Structure 1
Amino acid sequence: MASYDILVGTVLGASEYVADALSETLSEQGHSVSIHLDPNVQEINPDAIWLICSSTHGAGDLPDNIQPFAKQISGMDLSHITFLVVGLGDSSYDTYCNGAMVLQNLMEKAGAKLAYQPIHIDVLHHPIPEDIAVEWLKDYLQNAV
């Protein structure tokens, strides 16, 4: 089984709820999971798959709690890292899921490998984003073999 470190970017808590649901799903399937509410590169397992779960704040900004992480990875060599992305947003804003897209871009610029297509969850159409995130994760786990 694999190890997953879930890196959470949240303002109002929705991403944290999604991270908890993803963690539970991974644990039920025998994977080891750690959740990082204040992600710090030095505390994240470099051998784990990094699952980034972030909302967008304000005018397309990263949530405050994940901004230091974004600064840390800028310019790093993360070519040994495999990662996944779950974005939460509201499609009535033109910066829909920008926080997740910024983090994905930073990870890819640092050489990290995206393991599966990201999911961007529109909370206008999915008021319980955990449900669709878990469906996406199960699809990934079935196709990751």
Structure 2
Amino acid sequence: MAKIALIVGSVYGGAQYVAEQAQALLTGMGHELMLYEEPVLDDVLTFGPQLWLVITSTTGQGDIPDNLLPFYLDVKNRFPLLTGKQFAVIALGDSSYETFCGAGEQLRELLLEIQGTELAPMLRIDACETLEPENVALPWLEQQLREI
């Protein structure tokens, strides 16, 4: 089973709720998991996960939520290489905005830059189509992490 850092970016609580549901699912599957609601890079690195799982909503004009922005900037400035480590991103957004899932896109690009290996293509959950994002996220997670 995998050691997973679950990193959350949430504005109104939707991504937070999905992360809490994911935590229950993944620990039930036997994975070791640490949930980071106010993520700090040093804490994540100390935990030493095999997988960085980011679940984030998007705010403003494609912006990263305030609770996740310091982490994002710290990763961008310190550039800790993730060579040999996997990541996955679940992005919540609203397709009626031009910057649909913009925060997830930014996190994904950064994790690729620091040489992380994408476990699966980013999951984009559209609020215009899905009222309960956990109903999309949890089956996706279960499928992607079955082999880890």
Q: TM-score, normalised by structure 1?
A: 0.94
After the TM superposition, which residues 12-27 of structure 1 pair with which residues of structure 2 at under 5 Å, given as runs? 12-27=12-27
Q: What is the identity, as a one-letter code, of the residue corresponding to 1:49?
A: L
CA deviation after TM superposition for structure 1 residue 47, in Å = 3.0
Equivalent residue number for residue 91 of structure 1: 95
Q: RMSD of the alignment, in Å?
A: 1.2
- Once the two structures are superposed, residues 32-90 of structure 1 have per-residue CA deviations (whole angstroms, 9 ceiling, x without a partner) of 11110111111112233110001100011000111111111113322243111100000
Equivalent residue number for residue 124 of structure 1: 128
Question: Is residue 2:9 matched to residue 1:5?
Answer: no
Q: Number of residue pairs matched?
A: 144
Q: Among the aligned pairs, what percent are the same residue? A: 32
CA deviation after TM superposition for structure 1 residue 130, in Å = 0.7
Equivalent residue number for residue 138 of structure 2: 134
Q: What is the identity, as a one-letter code, of the residue corresponding to 1:106?
A: L
**Which whole-Å CA distance do the structure 1 matches of 2:67 and 2:50 have between them?**
21
After the TM superposition, which residues 71-82 of structure 1 pair with which residues of structure 2 at under 5 Å, given as runs? 71-74=73-76, 75-82=79-86
Q: What is the identity, as a one-letter code, of the residue corresponding to 2:25?
A: T
Structure 2 counterpart SS, 1:23: helix
Structure 2 counterpart SS, 1:64: coil
**Which whole-Å CA distance do the structure 1 matches of 2:48 and 2:34 have between them?**
12
Structure 2 counterpart SS, 1:63: coil
Equivalent residue number for residue 46 of structure 1: 48
CA deviation after TM superposition for structure 1 residue 121, in Å = 0.3
**Which whole-Å CA distance do the structure 2 matches of 1:105 and 1:77 have between them?**
13
Q: Which runs of 5+ in 2 are unaligned?
A: none
- Once the two structures are superposed, residues 106-135 of structure 1 have per-residue CA deviations (whole angstroms, 9 ceiling, x without a partner) of 111111111112100001111000110001
**Which whole-Å CA distance do the structure 2 matches of 1:68 and 1:80 have between them?**
24
Q: TM-score, normalised by structure 2?
A: 0.92
